[in-house]
């Protein structure tokens, strides 16, 4: 798995769901048999000569089995429905507070900066951030069903006890869970555990009922018998409930351990700094990451950066490998180095302290290629051997440094606006109008609703236009990703209204440009109800989606070439691997409408994850055939990658080695 690409990890995450279902089924079967055994013992006098296997087929045995299975499934279903709201519901469940991105708290500000840099570098919307203010332990987790609605929760201890490099290592670890598809199965485990633990909770209720029944009044002999039966049944169910806890822990450990080691390795790959995550783990080993202020610490154990509760039989049931083993796996000798540094009270070396501050222009010139303000092209020089799909779900040092440089170049007034709902809405308008002349801009904006939240605000737009015009197209999608937490705070009616406003503005001149289509598609995908849901797999062969694929490749080939003959040749080359021999039914399409493109992308998004890399690479072959990516090509790339659930770095380039 360490060498697997993004699409293979997504497929593995889906297979883990099957493993989870298998373990859940086994746990339900064993718990059901255990309760039936208790029922058999209590009623065997009524069935003399009947062995346990025969008793299971009696009316009592069948009713007992159906009841137990129904209770477990109902418990899981109730929690499943409760968690349907996704990551935000999980954050509220543990009592976390949503963090304001414009916070002036220095520790929270540092977290915001790290998360924003990593989100831009990976090409996903910035996750919603939450803080567990009452938790002094060092811990963190992410929750949600897809990267588009991910939530990251961090304890106050992680904010105050960790250095920037260590916090960045923890954030890198959590981003790995986002990109690897781990969040979805983690939330499902919570629901499954709720059902498995339901039997023990019923037993606890019966014990309490039996213990307090009749207190303060005279009891008859029948009352005593009922009370005794309730106590015995409750105690038996509590014992079985502990078996449920055992199986729950086993499920957490089976699904979680390997993914934690992979996330540690990915964090080092993302940050290029093993001492960051290593130092964070070392501090957890010294101070623990146990959560003491939430009743859901046990439910969340498999999701957290470190163990959130004490676990008996840790070698078998712990959701995470031992801290020392994790540190040694990150880098041989790292644990000894950290211990030596602790003995001598030496500060850890900071990667940030050794780096020269770079502007966006300096970094682009040195590492990628010229990126001049106001240039109509991104002008990015890419390695000839670079496969675009290999960039998916990866955070390279080049892209992380680029993201940091891009954020530094944003004026403070521009960036602060993205942290408010009003400012984020105005950004959407500014993205669609900043290249228009004053008259055309005023005409277009006059079409919008005069509602106080959605009407164009000239003073705010005037603070957004200069940065969009000076930095150029490279800023557009990263700025939108930074604004997504604010846009997600809109309620459903407000989101629908914003989508209407943006669509109206995009159509103001009677035509839809590629960027306008990409922008409206991006917002529609991330802001419509159910946007966080994972797209189900419907197609497992390219043959089933060939018309949609041909339509997309027609658009990309024509955008990447200057004449019809060149486009036709390029189209034939990239479509060849998808076609059966002598298939002459697929041709370059001369015109691609917005509706046709939207339907084609929707169909392609339902492909198996393992079939999507070839589509990304075919787009890449078209885009990179001249060795560079211009604005139009980059917008196609962002559109396709977003619609295919493929997090693509904003500048998918290989490091030049400079």
The answer to whether 173 and 306 have CB atoms below 8 angstroms apart is: no
Cα–Cα distance between 127 and 142 in angstroms, integer?
Answer: 9
Q: How many CB atoms lie within 10 A of CB 647?
A: 22
Cα–Cα distance between 195 and 81 in angstroms, integer?
Answer: 13
Pull the structure tokens for residue 107. Answer: 């520790």
Q: What's the angle, vertex CA 21, arms to CA 147 and CA 261, rounded to 5?
A: 55
Question: What is the DSSP secondary structure assignment for residue 143, as one 8-state letter?
Answer: E
CA dihedral 617, 618, 619, 623 (to 10 degrees): 90
Any catalytic annotation for residue 481? Answer: no
80 Cβ partners below 8 Å, 6+ apart?
A: 188, 191
Q: Annotated catalytic residue: which of 135, 174, 260, 633?
A: 174
Q: What's the angle, vertex CA 220, arms to CA 214 and CA 224, rounded to 5?
A: 65
Cα–Cα distance between 617 and 634 in angstroms, integer?
Answer: 14
Cα–Cα distance between 471 and 409 in angstroms, integer?
Answer: 8
The residues facing 380 across adjacent strands are 629
Largest CA distance in the chain: 98
CA 197 to the chain's CA centroid:
27
Q: What's the angle, vertex CA 177, arms to CA 334 and CA 252, rounded to 5?
A: 90
Q: How many CB atoms lie within 10 A of CB 314?
A: 15
Cα–Cα distance between 227 and 233 in angstroms, integer?
Answer: 10
The residues facing 142 across adjacent strands are 152
Pull the structure tokens for residue 267. Answer: 């964090």
Residue (of 357, 359, 383, 361) closest to 371 by Cα position: 361
The answer to whether 297 and 137 have CB atoms below 8 angstroms apart is: no
Token look-up 């059966």 returns 580
CA dihedral 540, 541, 543, 548 (to 10 degrees): 50
Angle between helices 198-212 and 221-271 (to 10 degrees): 150
Q: Would strands 128-132 and 97-98 be described as parallel, antiparallel, or unpaired? A: antiparallel
Cα–Cα distance between 41 and 239 in angstroms, integer?
Answer: 15
Q: Would strands 380-381 and 628-629 be described as parallel, antiparallel, or unpaired? A: antiparallel
Task: Return the active site residues.
Answer: 174
């Amino acid at each position: 798995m360490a060498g697997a690409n993004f699409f293979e990890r997504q497929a593995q995450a889906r297979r883990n769901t099957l493993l989870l279902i298998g373990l859940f089924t086994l746990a339900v079967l064993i718990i059901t048999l255990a309760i039936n055994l208790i029922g058999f013992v209590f009623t065997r006098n009524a069935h003399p000569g009947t062995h346990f296997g025969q008793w299971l087929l009696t009316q009592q045995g069948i009713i007992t089995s159906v009841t137990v299975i129904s209770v477990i499934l109902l418990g899981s279903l109730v929690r499943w429905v409760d968690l349907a709201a996704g990551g935000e519901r999980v954050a509220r469940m543990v009592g976390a507070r949503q963090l304001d991105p414009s916070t002036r708290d220095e520790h929270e500000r540092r977290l915001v900066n790290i998360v924003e840099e990593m989100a831009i570098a990976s090409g996903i919307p910035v996750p919603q951030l939450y803080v567990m203010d009452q938790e002094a332990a060092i811990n963190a987790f992410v929750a949600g069903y897809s990267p588009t609605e991910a939530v990251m929760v961090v304890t106050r201890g992680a904010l105050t006890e960790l250095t920037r490099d260590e916090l960045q290592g923890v954030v890198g670890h959590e981003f790995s869970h986002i990109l690897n598809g781990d969040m979805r199965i983690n939330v499902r485990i919570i629901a499954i555990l709720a059902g498995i633990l339901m039997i023990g909770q019923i037993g606890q209720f019966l014990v309490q009922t039996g213990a307090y029944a009749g207190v303060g009044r005279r009891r008859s002999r029948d009352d005593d018998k009922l009370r005794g039966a309730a106590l015995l049944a409750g105690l038996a169910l509590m014992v079985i409930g502990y078996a449920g806890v055992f199986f729950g822990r086993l499920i957490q450990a089976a699904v979680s351990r390997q993914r934690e080691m992979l996330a540690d390795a990915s964090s080092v790959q993302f940050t290029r700094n093993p001492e960051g995550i290593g130092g964070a783990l070392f501090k957890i080993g010294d101070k623990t990451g146990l959560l003491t202020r939430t009743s859901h610490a046990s439910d969340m154990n498999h999701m957290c950066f470190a163990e959130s509760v004490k676990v008996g039989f840790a070698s078998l049931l712990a959701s995470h490998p031992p801290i020392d083993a994790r540190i040694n796996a990150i880098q041989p000798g790292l644990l000894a180095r950290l211990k030596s540094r602790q003995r001598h009270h030496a500060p850890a070396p900071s990667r940030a302290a050794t780096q020269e501050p770079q502007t966006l222009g300096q970094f682009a010139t040195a590492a990628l290629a010229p990126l001049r303000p106001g240039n109509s092209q991104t002008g990015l020089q890419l390695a000839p051997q670079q496969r675009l799909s290999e960039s998916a779900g990866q955070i390279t040092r080049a892209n992380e440094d680029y993201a940091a440089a891009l954020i530094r170049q944003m004026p403070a007034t521009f960036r602060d606006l993205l942290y408010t709902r009003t400012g984020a809405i105005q950004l959407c308008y500014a993205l669609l109008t900043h290249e228009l002349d004053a008259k055309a801009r005023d005409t277009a904006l006059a079409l919008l609703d005069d509602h106080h939240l959605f009407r164009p605000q000239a003073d705010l737009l005037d603070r957004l236009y200069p940065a969009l015009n000076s930095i150029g197209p490279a800023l557009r999608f990263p700025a939108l990703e930074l604004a997504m937490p604010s846009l997600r705070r809109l309620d459903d009616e407000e989101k629908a209204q914003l989508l209407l406003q943006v669509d109206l503005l995009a159509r103001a001149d009677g035509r839809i440009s590629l960027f306008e289509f990409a922008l409206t598609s991006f917002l529609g995908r991330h802001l419509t109800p159910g946007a966080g849901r994972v797209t189900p797999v419907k197609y497992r062969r390219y043959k089933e989606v060939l018309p949609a694929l041909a339509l997309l490749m027609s658009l990309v080939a024509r955008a990447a070439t200057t004449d019809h003959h060149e486009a036709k040749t390029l189209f034939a080359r990239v479509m060849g691997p998808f076609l059966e021999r002598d298939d002459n039914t697929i041709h370059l399409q001369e015109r691609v409408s917005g509706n046709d493109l939207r339907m084609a992308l929707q169909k392609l998004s339902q492909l198996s994850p393992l079939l999507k890399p070839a589509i990304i690479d075919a787009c890449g072959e078209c885009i990179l055939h001249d060795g560079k990516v211009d604005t139009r090509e980059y917008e196609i790339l962002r559109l396709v990658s977003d619609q295919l659930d493929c997090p693509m770095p904003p500048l998918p380039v290989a490091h030049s080695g400079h």
